Structure 1
Amino acid sequence: MRVDDLPGELILWILIVSEVLVFMAGVSVMVVLGLRDPQGFVAAQAQLDGRMAALNTLVLVTSGLFAARAERQAAQGDRQGARRALVLAMLGGLVFLGVKAVEYAHDIDAGLGIDSHPFFTFYYLLTGFHAAHVVAGVVVLALVALRADPEAVQAGAMFWHMVDLVWVLILPAIYLIW
Protein backbone atom coordinates (compact mmCIF):
# COMPACT_ATOMS: atom_id res chain seq x y z
CA MET A 1 0.00 0.00 0.00
CA ARG A 2 1.26 3.45 -0.89
CA VAL A 3 0.55 6.69 0.94
CA ASP A 4 -1.50 7.83 -2.05
CA ASP A 5 -3.81 4.84 -1.53
CA LEU A 6 -4.87 5.94 1.98
CA PRO A 7 -8.34 7.46 2.28
CA GLY A 8 -8.40 11.14 3.18
CA GLU A 9 -5.57 13.64 3.31
CA LEU A 10 -2.04 12.77 4.40
CA ILE A 11 -2.02 15.58 6.97
CA LEU A 12 -5.00 14.01 8.72
CA TRP A 13 -3.15 10.69 8.93
CA ILE A 14 -0.14 12.49 10.40
CA LEU A 15 -2.42 14.09 13.01
CA ILE A 16 -4.07 10.78 13.86
CA VAL A 17 -0.79 8.87 14.17
CA SER A 18 0.79 11.64 16.27
CA GLU A 19 -2.21 11.76 18.62
CA VAL A 20 -2.21 7.98 19.07
CA LEU A 21 1.54 8.08 19.79
CA VAL A 22 1.08 10.78 22.43
CA PHE A 23 -1.57 8.72 24.20
CA MET A 24 0.51 5.56 23.94
CA ALA A 25 3.49 7.36 25.48
CA GLY A 26 1.29 8.28 28.45
CA VAL A 27 -0.02 4.72 28.75
CA SER A 28 3.53 3.35 28.53
CA VAL A 29 4.77 5.56 31.37
CA MET A 30 1.72 4.59 33.43
CA VAL A 31 2.41 0.89 32.88
CA VAL A 32 6.08 1.27 33.83
CA LEU A 33 5.10 3.06 37.05
CA GLY A 34 2.48 0.41 37.71
CA LEU A 35 5.08 -2.33 37.37
CA ARG A 36 7.09 -0.58 40.10
CA ASP A 37 4.08 -0.40 42.44
CA PRO A 38 1.61 -3.13 41.41
CA GLN A 39 -0.16 -3.28 44.80
CA GLY A 40 -0.64 0.49 44.84
CA PHE A 41 -2.02 0.50 41.31
CA VAL A 42 -4.36 -2.42 42.07
CA ALA A 43 -5.67 -0.63 45.18
CA ALA A 44 -6.09 2.65 43.30
CA GLN A 45 -7.85 1.07 40.34
CA ALA A 46 -10.22 -0.81 42.65
CA GLN A 47 -11.64 2.57 43.68
CA LEU A 48 -12.90 3.29 40.14
CA ASP A 49 -16.36 2.33 38.93
CA GLY A 50 -15.79 0.02 35.97
CA ARG A 51 -19.49 0.19 35.07
CA MET A 52 -19.00 3.82 34.05
CA ALA A 53 -16.12 2.80 31.78
CA ALA A 54 -18.21 -0.01 30.27
CA LEU A 55 -21.10 2.37 29.62
CA ASN A 56 -18.80 4.96 28.09
CA THR A 57 -17.17 2.33 25.89
CA LEU A 58 -20.57 1.25 24.58
CA VAL A 59 -21.61 4.87 24.00
CA LEU A 60 -18.41 5.83 22.20
CA VAL A 61 -18.26 2.74 19.99
CA THR A 62 -21.92 3.19 19.04
CA SER A 63 -21.19 6.81 18.26
CA GLY A 64 -18.37 5.62 15.99
CA LEU A 65 -20.86 3.45 14.13
CA PHE A 66 -22.96 6.53 13.46
CA ALA A 67 -19.89 8.38 12.18
CA ALA A 68 -19.19 5.47 9.79
CA ARG A 69 -22.82 5.54 8.70
CA ALA A 70 -22.56 9.28 8.03
CA GLU A 71 -19.50 8.68 5.89
CA ARG A 72 -21.28 6.02 3.84
CA GLN A 73 -24.40 8.17 3.41
CA ALA A 74 -22.38 11.22 2.36
CA ALA A 75 -20.53 9.09 -0.21
CA GLN A 76 -23.91 8.00 -1.60
CA GLY A 77 -25.02 11.64 -1.90
CA ASP A 78 -27.47 11.49 1.03
CA ARG A 79 -26.51 14.71 2.83
CA GLN A 80 -29.57 14.69 5.09
CA GLY A 81 -28.90 11.11 6.17
CA ALA A 82 -25.26 12.00 6.75
CA ARG A 83 -26.30 14.99 8.89
CA ARG A 84 -28.65 12.86 10.98
CA ALA A 85 -25.93 10.25 11.54
CA LEU A 86 -23.42 12.99 12.46
CA VAL A 87 -25.86 14.44 14.98
CA LEU A 88 -26.27 10.98 16.53
CA ALA A 89 -22.47 10.60 16.67
CA MET A 90 -22.22 14.02 18.34
CA LEU A 91 -24.92 13.09 20.86
CA GLY A 92 -22.89 9.99 21.69
CA GLY A 93 -19.90 12.21 22.35
CA LEU A 94 -21.96 14.46 24.61
CA VAL A 95 -23.33 11.46 26.52
CA PHE A 96 -19.76 10.19 26.91
CA LEU A 97 -18.74 13.56 28.39
CA GLY A 98 -21.74 13.55 30.73
CA VAL A 99 -20.93 10.08 32.03
CA LYS A 100 -17.26 11.06 32.45
CA ALA A 101 -18.31 14.19 34.38
CA VAL A 102 -20.46 12.07 36.73
CA GLU A 103 -17.56 9.65 37.16
CA TYR A 104 -15.11 12.48 37.91
CA ALA A 105 -17.54 14.01 40.42
CA HIS A 106 -17.88 10.66 42.20
CA ASP A 107 -14.11 10.18 42.23
CA ILE A 108 -13.44 13.67 43.56
CA ASP A 109 -16.15 13.26 46.23
CA ALA A 110 -14.35 10.07 47.29
CA GLY A 111 -11.15 12.10 47.74
CA LEU A 112 -9.45 10.73 44.63
CA GLY A 113 -7.50 13.67 43.25
CA ILE A 114 -4.78 13.97 40.66
CA ASP A 115 -2.18 13.86 43.43
CA SER A 116 -3.72 10.99 45.45
CA HIS A 117 -1.49 8.37 43.82
CA PRO A 118 0.49 8.15 40.54
CA PHE A 119 -2.33 5.96 39.19
CA PHE A 120 -4.78 8.84 39.59
CA THR A 121 -2.34 11.30 38.05
CA PHE A 122 -2.40 9.25 34.86
CA TYR A 123 -6.10 8.46 35.20
CA TYR A 124 -7.00 12.15 35.16
CA LEU A 125 -4.37 13.15 32.60
CA LEU A 126 -5.20 10.43 30.08
CA THR A 127 -8.97 10.52 30.45
CA GLY A 128 -9.00 14.32 30.66
CA PHE A 129 -6.89 14.67 27.53
CA HIS A 130 -9.16 12.14 25.85
CA ALA A 131 -12.24 14.11 26.97
CA ALA A 132 -10.70 17.21 25.38
CA HIS A 133 -10.43 15.23 22.14
CA VAL A 134 -14.08 14.21 22.48
CA VAL A 135 -15.02 17.89 22.80
CA ALA A 136 -12.90 18.71 19.73
CA GLY A 137 -14.47 15.78 17.88
CA VAL A 138 -18.00 16.95 18.65
CA VAL A 139 -17.09 20.41 17.31
CA VAL A 140 -15.50 18.88 14.20
CA LEU A 141 -18.57 16.72 13.56
CA ALA A 142 -20.86 19.75 14.01
CA LEU A 143 -18.83 21.77 11.50
CA VAL A 144 -18.73 18.84 9.08
CA ALA A 145 -22.51 18.41 9.37
CA LEU A 146 -23.00 21.94 8.03
CA ARG A 147 -21.53 20.95 4.65
CA ALA A 148 -22.00 17.19 4.75
CA ASP A 149 -19.95 16.72 1.60
CA PRO A 150 -18.19 13.36 1.29
CA GLU A 151 -14.62 14.63 1.81
CA ALA A 152 -15.51 16.66 4.92
CA VAL A 153 -17.57 13.83 6.41
CA GLN A 154 -14.74 11.39 5.74
CA ALA A 155 -12.25 13.66 7.53
CA GLY A 156 -14.60 14.16 10.48
CA ALA A 157 -15.30 10.44 10.73
CA MET A 158 -11.58 9.66 10.63
CA PHE A 159 -10.95 12.04 13.52
CA TRP A 160 -13.87 10.53 15.44
CA HIS A 161 -12.57 7.01 14.87
CA MET A 162 -9.20 8.15 16.26
CA VAL A 163 -11.05 9.30 19.40
CA ASP A 164 -12.67 5.84 19.62
CA LEU A 165 -9.33 4.10 19.07
CA VAL A 166 -7.60 6.12 21.77
CA TRP A 167 -10.33 5.23 24.27
CA VAL A 168 -9.93 1.54 23.46
CA LEU A 169 -6.14 1.88 23.94
CA ILE A 170 -6.27 3.71 27.29
CA LEU A 171 -9.18 1.69 28.71
CA PRO A 172 -7.15 -1.41 29.65
CA ALA A 173 -4.40 0.55 31.40
CA ILE A 174 -6.90 2.45 33.51
CA TYR A 175 -9.72 0.00 34.15
CA LEU A 176 -8.57 -3.55 33.40
CA ILE A 177 -4.95 -4.60 33.82
CA TRP A 178 -4.26 -3.85 37.47
Structure 2
Amino acid sequence: MNDTRADAVPVEGPVQASNPGRKVAAKSPWSLDSLPGDPMMWILITSEIFVFGGALWGFAISEMLHPEIFKEARSHLNVPIATINTLILLTSGFIAAIAVRYAKAGNAKLARLSLAGAGALGVVFMILKIMEYQQKFELGVGLETNSFYTLYFLVTGFHLAHVVFGLIILAIVAIWPNEDNLETGTAFWHMVDLIWVMIFPVFYLMGVGL
Protein backbone atom coordinates (compact mmCIF):
# COMPACT_ATOMS: atom_id res chain seq x y z
CA MET A 1 0.00 0.00 0.00
CA ASN A 2 1.35 3.39 -1.02
CA ASP A 3 2.22 5.86 1.79
CA THR A 4 -0.02 8.91 1.27
CA ARG A 5 2.06 11.16 3.55
CA ALA A 6 4.05 13.82 1.72
CA ASP A 7 7.76 13.92 2.38
CA ALA A 8 8.94 16.98 4.27
CA VAL A 9 10.48 19.50 1.92
CA PRO A 10 13.16 21.80 3.39
CA VAL A 11 12.44 25.50 2.98
CA GLU A 12 15.30 27.83 2.13
CA GLY A 13 15.48 31.36 3.49
CA PRO A 14 13.82 32.92 6.57
CA VAL A 15 10.62 31.42 7.84
CA GLN A 16 7.73 33.89 7.89
CA ALA A 17 5.96 34.27 11.21
CA SER A 18 2.47 32.83 11.27
CA ASN A 19 1.27 35.69 13.47
CA PRO A 20 0.07 38.47 11.12
CA GLY A 21 0.34 41.05 13.90
CA ARG A 22 4.02 40.48 14.43
CA LYS A 23 6.39 43.26 13.30
CA VAL A 24 8.51 42.20 10.36
CA ALA A 25 10.54 45.39 9.87
CA ALA A 26 12.61 47.27 12.40
CA LYS A 27 12.55 51.05 12.54
CA SER A 28 15.44 52.64 10.70
CA PRO A 29 17.98 54.26 13.05
CA TRP A 30 18.15 57.15 10.56
CA SER A 31 14.45 58.00 10.72
CA LEU A 32 13.23 61.15 12.47
CA ASP A 33 11.15 58.96 14.78
CA SER A 34 14.35 57.60 16.30
CA LEU A 35 15.29 61.07 17.59
CA PRO A 36 14.16 62.23 21.05
CA GLY A 37 11.17 64.56 21.15
CA ASP A 38 8.93 65.71 18.31
CA PRO A 39 10.35 65.03 14.80
CA MET A 40 9.07 68.43 13.61
CA MET A 41 11.30 70.11 16.18
CA TRP A 42 14.31 68.42 14.60
CA ILE A 43 13.31 69.70 11.18
CA LEU A 44 13.17 73.21 12.67
CA ILE A 45 16.52 72.74 14.40
CA THR A 46 18.18 71.55 11.21
CA SER A 47 16.85 74.50 9.22
CA GLU A 48 17.97 76.98 11.90
CA ILE A 49 21.48 75.53 11.95
CA PHE A 50 21.68 75.92 8.18
CA VAL A 51 20.49 79.55 8.46
CA PHE A 52 23.11 80.44 11.06
CA GLY A 53 25.76 78.44 9.23
CA GLY A 54 25.05 80.44 6.08
CA ALA A 55 25.26 83.70 8.03
CA LEU A 56 28.62 82.74 9.52
CA TRP A 57 29.86 81.74 6.08
CA GLY A 58 28.83 85.14 4.78
CA PHE A 59 30.66 86.75 7.70
CA ALA A 60 33.84 84.84 6.83
CA ILE A 61 33.66 85.96 3.20
CA SER A 62 33.08 89.57 4.25
CA GLU A 63 36.08 89.39 6.57
CA MET A 64 38.28 88.20 3.72
CA LEU A 65 37.17 91.25 1.71
CA HIS A 66 37.64 93.75 4.57
CA PRO A 67 40.26 92.27 6.94
CA GLU A 68 41.41 95.55 8.49
CA ILE A 69 37.87 96.74 9.26
CA PHE A 70 37.02 93.43 10.90
CA LYS A 71 40.26 93.29 12.88
CA GLU A 72 39.77 96.79 14.27
CA ALA A 73 36.08 96.28 15.06
CA ARG A 74 36.65 92.90 16.72
CA SER A 75 39.21 94.46 19.08
CA HIS A 76 36.37 96.50 20.64
CA LEU A 77 34.16 93.52 21.48
CA ASN A 78 33.83 92.50 25.11
CA VAL A 79 35.46 89.07 25.09
CA PRO A 80 35.20 88.52 28.88
CA ILE A 81 31.41 89.00 28.85
CA ALA A 82 31.09 86.77 25.80
CA THR A 83 33.20 84.09 27.50
CA ILE A 84 31.05 84.24 30.62
CA ASN A 85 27.93 84.01 28.47
CA THR A 86 29.36 80.93 26.76
CA LEU A 87 29.88 79.20 30.11
CA ILE A 88 26.40 80.28 31.20
CA LEU A 89 24.69 78.74 28.18
CA LEU A 90 26.71 75.52 28.41
CA THR A 91 25.80 75.18 32.08
CA SER A 92 22.17 75.94 31.28
CA GLY A 93 22.16 73.20 28.64
CA PHE A 94 23.64 70.73 31.13
CA ILE A 95 20.93 71.54 33.68
CA ALA A 96 18.27 71.16 30.99
CA ALA A 97 19.64 67.68 30.24
CA ILE A 98 19.31 66.83 33.93
CA ALA A 99 15.67 67.94 33.77
CA VAL A 100 15.05 65.32 31.09
CA ARG A 101 16.55 62.62 33.31
CA TYR A 102 14.25 63.63 36.15
CA ALA A 103 11.28 63.51 33.78
CA LYS A 104 12.23 60.00 32.67
CA ALA A 105 12.40 58.99 36.32
CA GLY A 106 8.90 60.39 36.86
CA ASN A 107 10.06 63.18 39.18
CA ALA A 108 8.08 66.16 37.87
CA LYS A 109 9.06 68.43 40.77
CA LEU A 110 12.81 68.14 40.22
CA ALA A 111 12.29 68.35 36.46
CA ARG A 112 10.54 71.69 36.94
CA LEU A 113 13.24 72.94 39.30
CA SER A 114 15.94 72.00 36.79
CA LEU A 115 14.08 73.76 34.00
CA ALA A 116 13.78 76.83 36.23
CA GLY A 117 17.53 76.77 36.79
CA ALA A 118 18.24 76.41 33.08
CA GLY A 119 15.82 79.23 32.30
CA ALA A 120 17.31 81.50 34.97
CA LEU A 121 20.74 81.14 33.40
CA GLY A 122 19.18 81.92 30.04
CA VAL A 123 17.83 85.16 31.49
CA VAL A 124 21.31 86.03 32.81
CA PHE A 125 22.73 85.44 29.33
CA MET A 126 20.11 87.75 27.89
CA ILE A 127 20.85 90.51 30.43
CA LEU A 128 24.60 90.35 29.81
CA LYS A 129 24.05 90.43 26.05
CA ILE A 130 21.84 93.51 26.33
CA MET A 131 24.52 95.15 28.51
CA GLU A 132 27.06 94.42 25.79
CA TYR A 133 24.80 96.03 23.19
CA GLN A 134 24.34 99.03 25.47
CA GLN A 135 28.11 99.51 25.65
CA LYS A 136 28.27 99.65 21.87
CA PHE A 137 25.36 102.07 21.57
CA GLU A 138 26.98 104.42 24.11
CA LEU A 139 30.07 104.52 21.88
CA GLY A 140 27.92 105.40 18.89
CA VAL A 141 28.33 101.95 17.32
CA GLY A 142 25.32 100.55 15.49
CA LEU A 143 24.13 98.52 12.53
CA GLU A 144 25.40 101.07 10.01
CA THR A 145 28.86 101.61 11.51
CA ASN A 146 30.53 99.10 9.20
CA SER A 147 29.97 95.65 7.71
CA PHE A 148 31.37 93.92 10.80
CA TYR A 149 28.87 95.50 13.15
CA THR A 150 26.03 95.04 10.68
CA LEU A 151 26.61 91.29 10.75
CA TYR A 152 27.41 91.31 14.47
CA PHE A 153 24.11 92.89 15.47
CA LEU A 154 22.06 90.89 12.97
CA VAL A 155 23.49 87.47 13.82
CA THR A 156 23.80 87.88 17.59
CA GLY A 157 20.44 89.67 17.71
CA PHE A 158 18.79 86.81 15.82
CA HIS A 159 20.39 84.39 18.25
CA LEU A 160 19.13 86.45 21.19
CA ALA A 161 15.62 86.17 19.75
CA HIS A 162 16.08 82.40 19.78
CA VAL A 163 17.13 82.59 23.43
CA VAL A 164 13.88 84.40 24.24
CA PHE A 165 11.88 81.85 22.25
CA GLY A 166 13.75 79.03 23.97
CA LEU A 167 12.90 80.45 27.40
CA ILE A 168 9.23 80.51 26.42
CA ILE A 169 9.45 76.87 25.33
CA LEU A 170 11.12 75.86 28.61
CA ALA A 171 8.37 77.64 30.54
CA ILE A 172 5.67 75.85 28.57
CA VAL A 173 7.15 72.36 28.95
CA ALA A 174 7.61 73.01 32.68
CA ILE A 175 3.81 73.09 32.95
CA TRP A 176 3.59 69.55 31.52
CA PRO A 177 7.01 68.06 32.37
CA ASN A 178 6.65 64.64 30.79
CA GLU A 179 9.50 62.95 28.95
CA ASP A 180 8.35 63.76 25.40
CA ASN A 181 7.71 67.43 26.14
CA LEU A 182 11.06 67.89 27.86
CA GLU A 183 12.98 66.12 25.12
CA THR A 184 11.33 68.37 22.54
CA GLY A 185 11.85 71.60 24.48
CA THR A 186 15.41 70.90 25.57
CA ALA A 187 16.37 69.88 22.03
CA PHE A 188 15.61 73.45 20.95
CA TRP A 189 17.52 74.81 23.94
CA HIS A 190 20.56 72.70 23.07
CA MET A 191 20.35 74.11 19.54
CA VAL A 192 20.53 77.61 21.03
CA ASP A 193 23.67 76.54 22.92
CA LEU A 194 25.23 75.01 19.82
CA ILE A 195 24.64 78.09 17.69
CA TRP A 196 26.25 80.34 20.29
CA VAL A 197 29.26 78.00 20.43
CA MET A 198 29.53 78.58 16.66
CA ILE A 199 29.08 82.36 16.95
CA PHE A 200 31.48 82.95 19.84
CA PRO A 201 34.80 81.98 18.20
CA VAL A 202 33.90 83.41 14.79
CA PHE A 203 32.96 86.87 16.04
CA TYR A 204 35.05 87.21 19.19
CA LEU A 205 38.19 85.10 18.88
CA MET A 206 39.27 84.72 15.26
CA GLY A 207 42.26 86.95 14.59
CA VAL A 208 42.67 87.78 18.29
CA GLY A 209 45.95 86.86 19.92
CA LEU A 210 45.19 84.76 22.99
Aligned to 2:16: none
Residues of 2 paired with 1:144 and 1:22: CA distance? 25
Residues of 1 paired with 2:186 and 2:35: CA distance? 14
The structural deviation recorded for 1:139 is 0.4
Residue 166 (str. 1) matches residue 170 (str. 2):
no
Aligned to 1:27: 56
Q: SS of the residue aligned with 1:154?
A: helix
* Higher relative contact order (Cα pairs below 8 Å, separated by 6+ residues): 1
| RMSD, matched Cα | 0.8
Residues of 1 paired with 2:38 and 2:117: CA distance? 25
Residues of 2 paired with 1:56 and 1:19: CA distance? 21
Residues of 2 paired with 1:10 and 1:156: CA distance? 12
Tell me if the contact between 2:115 and 2:174 (Cα under 8 Å) persists in the aligned partners. Answer: yes
> What is the TM-score with the length of structure 1 in the denominator?
0.97
Query: Structure 1: any 5+ residue segments left out of the alignment?
Result: none
| Moved segments of 4+, more than 6 Å | none
Residues of 2 paired with 1:5 and 1:126: CA distance? 31
Matching residue within 36, 50, 75 for 1:46: 75
- Which amino acid counterpart does residue 73 of structure 1 have in structure 2? Y
> What is the TM-score with the length of structure 2 in the denominator?
0.83
Residues of 2 paired with 1:10 and 1:144: CA distance? 16
Aligned to 2:185: 156
Residue 116 (str. 1) matches residue 176 (str. 2):
no
Aligned to 1:84: 113
Matching residue within 154, 173, 194 for 1:125: 154
Give per-residue Cα distances to partners, 1:5-63, cap 9 Å, x unaligned.
Answer: 22222211110000011011111101100011111101000011101100100111111
- Which amino acid counterpart does residue 200 of structure 2 have in structure 1? L
Give per-residue Cα distances to partners, 1:62-121, cap 9 Å, x unaligned.
Answer: 110111010111011010010000000110110000000110000111121111110101
- Which amino acid counterpart does residue 130 of structure 2 have in structure 1? A
Q: SS of the residue aligned with 2:144?
A: coil
Aligned to 2:172: 143
Query: Structure 2: any 5+ residue segments left out of the alignment?
Result: 1-28
Q: SS of the residue aligned with 1:89?
A: helix
Identity across matched positions, percent: 41
- Which amino acid counterpart does residue 31 of structure 1 have in structure 2? A
